[in-house]
């Protein structure tokens, strides 16, 4: 045992000596003597690695340099009820007992009035023209008394709401500035699942933040008016209104929602397709509001359970569950129990399809409907009315 321990100590001493001498003898190493590389990873058993399917990960640095200057932070202020805060120092009680807690309260301002505005939230947005038009979400600016747009170069501008639409969650702002960097728009109808994307904004107030991921799904129907782009690029509170861009730096969507039990990112984020947002923005810039179509019906989905009783071969279209009297639907001949399968020669696959198609139609537009009634196809026409 002693002999073994002695051998071990000798080896350890020799190894330590080699380490120490190596640290001090680097400068005296002969020029041109190379140390052969040593690999600690075993060679695969078959001696041949498989051909790589991915040759490299994307480098987002140039993309960030291109996109970031046009992404803004939006601070939202709201009015609060002004109230008088009396100065208790001169009150007789405080003259006697100055240490009473109420005697230490001081007015918020010299005149005894509380501030009339306070910062209530923040979000993101992006510049769409050099003269200061900005796209963001309706829910970012809703209820705001003052909006402050902060550029990446730290300049601040008061913003005016040109128009805002709750149903699509799109808003257009304007700041008084020129020569601003701005982003170009992509065609969101040509997106494919699996494409790399980058989200930019101010999550949790952390300005100039970017995250990356892929398009997880398109035409994601969540029951809202808009059919979303789904992505796994991290989006959190404060990202709302910021751009989702492709690898060319073009905007494909406006970051709008996250699906999460905790309120923070859990792997699923939703963006408004930019094609839909631009349709809304055009009306907001022209009229300050959006006129959505309406025909006055209640609807329900066609499901696997009820399609056979309706005489359909697949779960497609929507069932009319209610028709308002004197509504465009009633005047067009729609009845309760009808199944609308096509509108303007476009297939209706879901409740969301129906709502968007009718809602996007301008009031006064005549829409041809293909209806399944009593196990046969019927063609009707409905003149779209204006949503209230």
Are 301 and 318 a contacting pair, CB within 8 Å? yes
Buried b (16+ CB within 10 A) or exposed e, 228-252: bbbbbbbbbbbbbbbbbbbeebbbb
- Bridge partner residues of 220 (DSSP): 228
Q: Could you tell me which residues come within 8 angstroms of residue 211 by beta carbon, excluding any fewer than 6 positions away?
A: 198, 199, 203, 233, 234, 235
Torsions phi, psi for 294 (to 5 deg): -155, 140
Place of tokens 């996109």: 67
Are 252 and 278 a contacting pair, CB within 8 Å? no
Buried b (16+ CB within 10 A) or exposed e, 308-331: eebebeebbbbbbeebeeebbbbb
Segment holding 182, helix H or strand E: none
Buried b (16+ CB within 10 A) or exposed e, 32-50: eeeeeeeeeeeeeeeeeee
- Bridge partner residues of 129 (DSSP): none
- Bridge partner residues of 373 (DSSP): 376
Measured distance CA(208)–CA(3) in Å, rounded: 66
Measured distance CA(349)–CA(118) in Å, rounded: 46
Measured distance CA(336)–CA(319) in Å, rounded: 8
Measured distance CA(229)–CA(257) in Å, rounded: 10
Q: Could you tell me which residues come within 8 angstroms of residue 155 by beta carbon, excluding any fewer than 6 positions away?
A: 177
Active site residues: 139, 169, 240
Q: What is the largest CA-CA distance in the chain?
A: 107
């Amino acid at each position: 045992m002693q002999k073994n321990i002695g051998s071990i100590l000798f080896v350890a001493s020799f190894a330590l000596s080699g380490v120490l001498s190596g640290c001090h003898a680097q400068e005296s190493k002969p020029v041109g003597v190379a140390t052969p590389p040593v690999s600690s990873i075993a060679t695969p058993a078959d001696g041949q690695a498989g051909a790589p399917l991915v040759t490299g990960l994307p480098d987002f640095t140039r993309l960030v340099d291109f996109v970031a200057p046009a992404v803004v932070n939006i601070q939202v202020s709201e009015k609060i009820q002004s109230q008088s805060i009396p100065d208790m120092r001169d009150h007789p009680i405080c003259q006697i007992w100055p240490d009473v807690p109420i005697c230490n309260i001081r007015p918020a301002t010299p005149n005894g009035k509380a501030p009339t505005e306070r910062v209530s939230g923040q979000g993101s947005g992006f510049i769409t023209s050099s003269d200061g038009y900005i796209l963001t979400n309706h829910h970012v600016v809703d209820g705001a008394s003052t909006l402050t747009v902060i550029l990446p170069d730290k300049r601040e501008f008061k913003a005016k709401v040109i128009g805002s639409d709750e149903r699509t969650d799109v808003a257009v702002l304007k700041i008084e500035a020129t020569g601003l960097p701005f982003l170009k728009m992509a065609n969101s109808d040509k997106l494919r699942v699996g494409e790399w994307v980058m989200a930019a904004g101010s999550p949790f107030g952390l300005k100039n933040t970017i995250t990356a991921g892929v398009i997880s799904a398109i035409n994601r129907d969540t029951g809202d008016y808009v059919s979303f782009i789904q992505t796994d690029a991290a989006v959190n509170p404060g990202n709302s209104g910021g751009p989702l861009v492709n690898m060319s730096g073009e905007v494909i969507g406006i970051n709008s929602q996250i699906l999460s039990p905790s309120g923070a990112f859990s792997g699923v984020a939703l963006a408004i397709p930019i094609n839909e947002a631009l349709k809304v923005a055009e009306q907001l810039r022209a009229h300050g509001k959006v006129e959505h179509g309406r025909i006055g019906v209640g609807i329900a989905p066609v499901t696997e359970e009820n399609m056979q009783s309706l005489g359909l071969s697949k779960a497609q279209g929507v069932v009319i569950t209610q028709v308002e009297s004197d509504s465009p639907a009633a005047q067009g001949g729609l009845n309760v129990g009808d199944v609308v399968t096509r509108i303007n020669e476009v297939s209706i696959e879901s409740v969301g399809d129906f709502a968007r198609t009718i809602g996007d139609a301008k009031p006064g537009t005549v829409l041809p409907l293909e209806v399944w009634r009593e196990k046969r196809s019927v063609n009707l026409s409905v003149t779209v009315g204006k949503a209230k």
